[in-house]
Chain A
Amino acid sequence: MSDGKPTITVCDSTLRDGSHAYSHQITLEQVRAYATAAEAAGFNFLEVGHGNGLGASSLQVGESLVPEGEMLRAAKACLKRTKLSVHVIPGFATINREIAQAIDAGVELFRVGCHCTEADITQRHISHVRSAGHEAWGVLMMSHMVSGEILLEETKKMQSYGAQGIVLMDSAGAYFPADVTAKVGLLASKLEVPVGFHAHNNLGLAVANSIAALEAGARIVDGTGRGFGAGAGNAPIELIAAVLIKQGYTTALDLYKALDAGDLAAKLFAGSLPESNGVTIVSGMTGVFSGFAKPVQRAAKQFGVDGRDIFFELGRRKVVGGQEDLILEVADLLARRAKETGKVPPTP
């Protein structure tokens, strides 16, 4: 340990969260090229698959170009030090079908996630992964929606099921640094397992929030190459690498190779890199899942309504990740309302 600074585990979600930014069309060539770069950079884990994790290729969220088993095997073949991980949401992924297949493909870490108040639905999946001899973490998504006390209660359940790490996801990019400090700080001081943070940049705070998490005791941090992820993207992993090295944390990182991974992501996914725009900013303001940005823009066009209005209405309804179908219902409702009143409803 240098300077008494702790060791940080760096998780690269480019080939999972980036799936949202790429309408789930990531190719095997892109998987191989990026996985090779992630290995060289010394990231501890590389997460691969559909944006909503195992078994989520669907009409609801979007169909993957490449079946997940093939994606996982292609990535695995490029990795040595870097371990392969997947995102798992019970309600999408089942043990017998998707988890079994992922184990066969060589996945080493299962990050089992759920909406931030529903930890008990992860019990069977976490226990199964652990009893099969693999690593399992618990992930709470949309964690901006409830208090630190509730997050602690839910993550304690996950810890009791066997989770060996806990990650809070800011799925809507809605956190401010003070929220991160309070929530991550509470969990880091009360849980026995390491705590991590997964940022989204909808309010332009992904890197600042990741730093706040580290300073509050997080030992795991997520990032993606050039921020390639849902909504306005994630904390760019090359910037996370720079921050960790500059601040003297202990890591397995190679700075130049980490910077190269960011540059490679820019090249591989040129034209689809996430950017901040009116819709992603409103996604952050309303606390609605970042992955909704693209389908909201599509529905806004088809129904002739303002995508920002769709987000405000979804925020009012407190929708959770996975409820993409409500985008169409809300767009249809707004269009009918506008037709009835003969005018576009005022922006909230």
Chain B
Amino acid sequence: MSAKKLGVAILGTGNIGTDLMMKVLRSPVLECRLFAGRNLASPGMTKASLLGVPVSAKGFQSIIDRKDEIALVFDATSAMDHQKHAPVLKELGLVAVDLTPAKVGRMCVPAVNLAECLSEPNVNMITCGGQASIPIAYAIRSANPGVEYLEAVSSIASRSAGPATRINLDEYLQTTEQGLQLFGGCPRTKAILNLNPAQPCVHMQTTVMARIAQPDLARTRAAVAEMVARIRTYIPGYQLILEPIVENGRLVAMVRVEGLGDYLPRYAGNLDIINCAAIAFAEAYARQRTAQN
């Protein structure tokens, strides 16, 4: 055990939580001191035990019990649960990285506002489509004054959309639209999500479209290319597959996200991207703490 690593806990042992654990295990600055859920027999718990990660079936209570060993908690439960966890975590002085659409804390897109989020007690990772589209929307805005309207369309493999995603499509759309408004500096936004059942499973793709009176294509291309390079430092599978073009009065750019394949299959870039973003935040937070001490 390295004293220099930041102790973290992961709450929620489903697909997202288990994939996060795999990423934490690889991190040079994070250490997973607790993997907490409700069912020791779940596939995620089994995996954690095999990898020697401390586990608990006492859920949120186990975080409270072991608060002195940890500094940061990834919450991969549900929006409703996170609403309850957030005030307690704040009270305990633990940084919360919220992977649910609860939107308690500040919305965080590492490629755009990482530094501003490092002093926040609670950061929200928005949605998978938000993590993919918002940086592009931000780049478009930086290159063009007067963005009138922004739209983000994501297609994901049906098999990567679990029951929670399926029942919460409306919340997904609303949260993604709010993120686009905030970072795209544009009050009119729209999000669309398509599930595609094709076999072999399709990789996540996200298209950002904008209505701009007089788009500056050259500046937009440069801004988007720079943004993609920045994102690739923490999401290696993020690729620009359609350079910004103007077609039928709309500016269009498209990305594909191939996952790292840690716990989830590579096509599930949608799940990987939100986890990569959460890890990017946590690592930056850990490095900042080390620097301060």
Q: Which chain A residues have a beta carbon within 8 Å of chain B's beta carbons?
A: 58-60, 90-92, 94-96, 114-115, 117-118, 120-121, 123-124, 295, 298-299, 302, 317-320, 322-323, 325-326, 328-329, 332
Contacts and interface: CB of A to CB of B under 8 A. Distances in A.
Contacts of B247: 298-299, 302, 328
Contacts of B198: 317-319
A60 B205 contact: no
A103 to B, nearest CB: 15
Contact of A117 (B151, B197, B209): B197
Interface stretch (B85-93, B165-173, B230-238): B165-173
B52 interface: no
B50 to A, nearest CB: 32
Contact of A325 (B153, B167, B190, B195): B153
A60 B151 contact: yes
A213 to B, nearest CB: 24
Interface residues of B, number: 34
A326 B153 CA distance: 10
A139 to B, nearest CB: 15
6 contacts: A121-B195, A295-B248, A317-B202, A318-B196, A323-B194, A325-B252
A94 B155 CA distance: 17
Contacts of B241: 329
Interface in B202-222: 202, 205, 207, 209-211
B166 A60 contact: no
Interface of B: 149, 151, 153, 155, 158, 163, 166-167, 169-170, 173-174, 190, 192-198, 202, 205, 207, 209-211, 241-242, 245, 247-248, 250, 252, 254
Contact of B242 (A58, A317, A322, A332): A332
A120 B168 CA distance: 11
Contact of B250 (A59, A115, A299, A318): A59
A124 to B, nearest CB: 6
A319 B250 CA distance: 22
B111 to A, nearest CB: 22
Contact of B192 (A58, A117, A326, A332): A58
Contact of B211 (A59, A60, A332): A59
Given A299-B247, A323-B194, 14 more contacts: A59-B210, A60-B151, A92-B192, A94-B169, A118-B195, A120-B167, A298-B248, A320-B195, A320-B196, A322-B192, A325-B205, A328-B245, A328-B254, A329-B254
B196 A323 contact: yes
